[in-house]
Amino acid sequence: LRAIFGEKARDVKDTSLVVPSGISGIVMDVKVSSRTDEDGGKLDAAEQRRSLKKVNEEHRTLESKLREEMTDTLSNFLLGEKIPLDVRNSDTGEEIIPANRKITKTLLRRLASVSRTIEMNDSPVKQKIRNILDGYHRRFDELEAERKRKVEAIEQGIDEGGAIKNVKVYVATKRKIQVGDKMAGRHG
């Protein structure tokens, strides 16, 4: 199966019919057909763009839900509290949460949006915040990996559901003449 389908056939159950042993012949033709579509599984350019747009939109929706969930988790822990140190964006140097300021939902949303690039001085609060953010960063990474896998599948033209393919191999064999075989053509 790998010779016909390549690496896509790696984890597929083999339910093929097999030519019995002892039969020899010449392979005359091999036909591969799909039950889903006759194009060979490839999407046209417009359909591919639509699929990519849909995947990216789903990814943005899931990412915003996860970011909102992260904000809720941080708010359960920090809302209304005062942190004795500044929380800064390490890329821009911008102050996200000033020291000794009461934490609001808006500040937590800003923190969640730049959570990968925050820096703050060592404290027990920093460790708790870092633990929460690290757990969500793993989930964001999984989400991004899933998006990349889907985009790659669309660009390569691989069907998500795994199309059922049919392979017919035609084998020509020599047979001995028997009584009743037609020797001549229609007019002979």
> pLDDT, tens digit, for every residue of 1-12?
566 666 666 666
| Partners of 166 in the β-ladder | 33
Helix ranges (DSSP H) in the chain? 2-5, 45-78, 105-113, 124-156
What range does the domain containing 133 cover? 46-156
**Residues 85 and 135 both lie in one domain:** yes
Rounded CA separation 24/27 (Å): 10
Give the pLDDT mean for 87-98.
82
Give the pLDDT mean for 65-74.
88
Supply 172's token pair.
Answer: 């020509």
- Residue 37: the pLDDT is 47
Rounded CA separation 17/9 (Å): 16
**Residues 100 and 152 both lie in one domain:** yes
**Residues 118 and 164 both lie in one domain:** no
* Strand-pair category, 118-119 with 87-89: antiparallel
CA 36 to chain centre: 21
State how many domains the chain has: 2
Residue 141 reports pLDDT greater than 80: yes
Averaged confidence pLDDT in the chain: 79
**Residues 80 and 38 both lie in one domain:** no
Residue 160 reports pLDDT greater than 50: no
* 138: in domain: yes
Supply 66's token pair.
Answer: 């996860």
* 119: in domain: yes
Tell me the whole-structure pTM to 2 decimals. Answer: 0.58
**Residues 29 and 121 both lie in one domain:** no
* 137: in domain: yes
